[in-house]
Amino acid sequence: MSVEPSTISSRGSASIDPTDAVPEGDLESPEVLHVDDLPDDRFSNREMSWLAFNERVLTLAEDESQPLLERAKFLAIFASNLDEFYMVRIAGLKRRASTGLQVTSADGLSPRKILGRLSERISNLVDRHARCFKDVVNPELEDQGIHIRRWDALDAHEHAQLAEYFESKVFPVLTPLAVDPSHPFPYISGLSLNLAVLVRDPDEQVQRFARVKVPNNVPRFVVVSESPTESEFLPIEDLIAAHLSMLFPGMEVVEHHVFRVTRNADFEVEEDRDEDLLQALERELSRRRFGPAVRLEVTDDIDPDIVTLLASEIEVADDAIMRVPGLLDLSSLHQVYDVDRPSLKERPFVPTTNPRFAEGETPKSVFATLRDGDVLVHHPYESFATSTQRFIEQAAADPNVLAIKQTLYRTSGDSPIVDALIDAAEAGKQVVALVEIKARFDEQANIKWARALERAGCHVVYGFVGLKTHCKTALVVRQEGNLIRRYAHVGTGNYNPKTARMYEDLGLFTADPSICADLTDLFNVLTGYSRQTEYRSLLVAPQGIRAGLIERIEREIELARAGRPALIRFKTNHLVDEETIDALYRASMAGVQVDLLVRTFCTIKAGVPGLSDNIRTRSILGRFLEHSRVYYFGGDGDPEYWIGSADLMHRNLDRRVEVLCQVTDRASRGHLQDCLDLAFDENISAWDLQPDGEWVRSNGEHRDLQELLIKRLATRRE
């Protein structure tokens, strides 16, 4: 880590120079390792690989074997995913295309060419998504007593009931905005639903345009009626449209249409060593609200003249206008999913407590447990509350604990982790929290937590200039007689109890002196002037992870060349780093079996003769978001297992502080081995990447990996 002799501001932000860090959204990459025997077209397009991932999400919504409300949830996830894709990736591509610079991605395409290829594919997926809801899922919801009504389908009694709700809850927060020579076209905030309204003055017979914003602080679907077997909803925009005359008394409402705008959120903090990092971020957050529009969504029955007006005023090109059949913003189907109908959802399960952390139903001291050896927990199958949360809470309450040091990237609105850190500080313990205030879309929440921690007396560091601190680490220092002993947690997921119930993640608890010493050194780098770049038992980015992984890939290559068994298995969210991919290609060409489990972005080509014959790439989607990162090297019978927060992307390896930790405990390694074996079992339901770049769903028994793990870990607990 190339550290300048910098200052720590009054807000606690350290200054560090990651050798001209590239903004997170950019396609420009570090210089790729050129290998003469590898073809130029060896990388797939990153954005197209993301669309393939979201298509897999849509396939789950279309899958009739999925419980009905789970299908509605996958429709909502698809919509939310696409929103973020436009806000970040499409926005970034448009920005680069507008500069006129012909900067190409690793597959040789310019931003303009990528946008052209994406346009038709997105249009087809959006139409398929809308029709899946309109023609299939919604009618099936109706059959099950879950109704999304339109205003005209309700009776007089329901109209009267909803009119009362409108007048008391909705009408007071509405503000109709006229557009005329004295009223300029209003600013349309990103992702908000809006009504474009045409009204006519009965005296002058002149039509005028107005915009009504649908408030985002009331539910999207108004409950019309609810019982154990029937639920009836009305879209809030229908309720507002039915009462437009109250907003424009004395005027005739001619027509109305719903529209939605997506804006660029691909901003970068202009970080200055002499400026408070918190102030710089708050300035950029205010700018984000006013980013240029990158998409205009309208219903497919909208008046063409209204579309022309909206496009002109919002300043979007024709290719950024998306006509959608049916309801806009199906991400709101999460509200429908919350209906209490267990028979229409995956069977509920209660996470178990790792047996090392309890005697029957009685919790054990985490510290006493770790003195006997490491513990690996697997969320959400094993409880976050009785492992990670309890670790921090016991440390906060233990009078022998002297200090707690922790990184916080994303946490929840009501965070027991933050509460425990505040309790610890108020009890007189030394508490250091590195709160990454640049975590995209969680900036405001993290600023709030950072200030709350500061008020309680915690030492808060807001991160580095030029780098995000993405590692998930915690260190507890405890006085034990005449000894000072340290305890640590290294995880693959955030310290967030809510996402820990939905994200699949791993966490290693240890009192290993080497790992704890490494984390002590790392926290000194994060909070002070330490220039340390080498560690005993950790791989740390931005220097060590890519180099460490490639070194181990090369070791497997040498084993294969010597005729010995060689195997590499990676489980990661994203695989786009060219140097790592080239190393995997070389491994395949040397005869190493390479198994890859990649959830989302994936630019490697699998099974291509002469290039990647020995590379098998899979993707698994299910009720939980596959989120853990595991890196395995066979070592000819002396295997290595590494877990941590780093995906194989430029941003993770070059522009973030990331940590990978080696797992050496025999039982923990056994669990990781079982999980990897299951993931690559031909009878597990998964998508396999084909040599032509298409993802094909497996035709085996379609056993569900996550259901198998629920059963296995529950059995282990019993």
Residue 282, both tokens: 């708050």
SS3 671: helix
**Side chain identity at 288, as an amino acid letter?**
R
Residue of 256, 257, 379, 470 marked catalytic: 470
Nearest to 3 by CA among 606, 691, 528, 576: 528
Alpha helices in 15-67 (DSSP H): 46-62
Annotated catalytic residue 257:
no
Half-sphere exposure of 304 (CA within 13 A, CB side): 1
Q: Please identify which residue in the block is written with the tokens 């295997």.
A: 639
Q: What separation, in Å, do the N-terminal and C-terminal C-alpha atoms of the chain show? A: 46
Rounded distance, CA 499 to CA 686, Å? 23
**343, 151 contact by CB (below 8 A):** no
619-622 contacts at long range (C-beta below 8 A, 24 or more positions apart)? 619/53, 619/56, 619/686, 619/687, 619/689, 619/695, 620/679, 620/684, 620/685, 620/686, 620/687, 620/705, 621/56, 621/57, 621/60, 621/687, 622/685, 622/704, 622/705, 622/706
Residues 6+ apart with CB under 8 A from 404: 392, 395, 396, 421, 424, 429, 430, 431, 432, 474, 475, 476, 477
Rounded distance, CA 166 to CA 269, Å? 41
Rounded distance, CA 528 to CA 37, Å? 45
496-499 contacts at long range (C-beta below 8 A, 24 or more positions apart)? 496/410, 496/411, 496/412, 496/415, 497/384, 497/385, 497/389, 497/412, 497/415, 497/416, 497/417, 498/412, 499/410, 499/412
Nearest to 212 by CA among 175, 250, 243: 175
C-alpha distances out from residue 301 to 83, 257, 295, 323, Å: 22, 9, 18, 8
**254, 202 contact by CB (below 8 A):** no
SS3 295: strand
What is the DSSP-derived secondary structure letter of residue 118?
H
Rounded distance, CA 588 to CA 502, Å? 34
**383, 373 contact by CB (below 8 A):** no
Residues recognised as catalytic: 470
